[in-house]
Amino acid sequence: MKTAARESKTVRPIMRLLDILGKRWSLRILWELRSGRMTFRELRTHCDDVSPTSLNQRLKELRELKLIDHDEEGFGFTKWGSELGEHLLTLNDWSVDWDKDS
């Protein structure tokens, strides 16, 4: 019975969330998807040409968490992902003030 390499050991939702969001590109992917659905290649371009291996891995995980989905228009937010995107937006506003105090 082997445990997954890096998935949350706890059951707490926040931990599941922090686990995946703490992986490289996760936050960035969600951030970029705010501007609408896009194809794998488009998304890749928006994410500084992240390697397709990594992108695919993250997309798979984010889909499993029901944060994004995929249809004929490409990848995009689910209802939940959309809500999470809102949180990122408020974080964006915050970061502007934070940055002023560089």
Binding positions for DNA, rule: CB under 7 A: 5-6, 23-25, 39-42, 49-54, 56-57, 59, 70, 74-75
Please state whether 71 falls in left (phi above 0), alpha (psi between -120 and 50) or beta.
beta
Residue 54, SS3 per DSSP: helix
Work out the end-to-end distance of the chain between its first and last CA atoms, rounded to an integer number of angstroms: 48
- Residue 45 contact among DNA, a second copy, none, beta carbon within 5 to 8 Å by kind: none
Percent of residues in the chain assigned helix, strand, coil, to nearest 5: 60, 10, 35
* Contact characters 2-21, a second copy, x per CB under 8 A: -------x---xx-xxx--x
- Applying CB under 8 A, the residues found at the interface with a second copy are 9, 13-14, 16-18, 21-28, 31, 48, 66, 80, 83-84, 87-88, 90-92, 94-96, 98-99, 101
